[in-house]
């Protein structure tokens, strides 16, 4: 059991969705944020950096948006379905764009391969949660 699930289980309010599922979504968003931060820096350190600038900027946007989404999902005191759904949709949009860009470099840059998988998985998590929150 991750700390994320422990925190949901000791929270005085019940979340709008199943706790195990919500904890998994938060963990996926935080892992994607960390992976994108690391991928931006790895791209920056490659000799081929000039070909990776769009990838770096998308990584930075994806990291910031995943993080803001994870924090929002961790806050139940101000829970609001409309905010959650619109942020999850924005997050799915940036995750898809980042996954596609990283996939273009995945053969030569191993970190982009790992990052593309993290973004694709996170996009799926966001889209599934939008449905569950309806």
C-beta closer to its own copies: residue 114 or 128: 114
- Of 29 and 128, which CB lies nearer to its own copies in the complex structure? 29
Binding site for its own copies (CB under 8 A): 2-4, 6-8, 10-13, 26, 30-31, 34-35, 37-42, 44-47, 49-50, 53-58, 60-61, 64-65, 67-68, 70-72, 74-80, 82-83, 86-87, 89-90, 93-94, 97, 101, 109-111, 113-115, 118
How far is residue 17's CA from residue 129's CA, in Å, rounded to a whole number? 9
We find the least distance from the C-beta atom of residue 50 to its own copies, in angstroms, to be 6
Task: Please report how close the Cβ of residue 92 comes to its own copies at its closest, in angstroms.
Answer: 8
Q: Rounded to the nearest 5°, which phi and psi values hold at 78?
A: -120, 25
Give the residue among 93, 117, 100 at the shortest CA–CA distance from 28: 117
Please report, to the nearest 10 degrees, the dihedral formed by the alpha carbons of residues 129, 83, 76, 126 taken in order.
20
Rounded Cα distance, 92 and 119, in Å: 9
């Amino acid at each position: 059991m991750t700390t994320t699930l422990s925190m949901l289980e000791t929270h005085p309010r019940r979340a709008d969705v199943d706790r195990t599922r919500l904890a998994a979504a938060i963990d996926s968003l935080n892992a994607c944020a960390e992976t994108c931060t690391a991928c931006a820096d790895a791209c920056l350190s490659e000799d081929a950096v000039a070909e990776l600038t769009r990838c770096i900027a998308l990584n930075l946007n994806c990291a910031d948006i995943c993080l803001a989404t994870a924090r929002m999902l961790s806050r139940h005191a101000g829970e609001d379905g409309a905010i959650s759904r619109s942020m999850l949709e924005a997050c799915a949009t940036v995750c898809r764009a980042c996954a596609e860009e990283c996939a273009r470099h995945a053969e030569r840059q191993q970190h982009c391969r790992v990052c593309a998988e993290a973004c694709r998985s996170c996009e799926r998590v966001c889209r599934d949660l939008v449905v569950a929150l309806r």
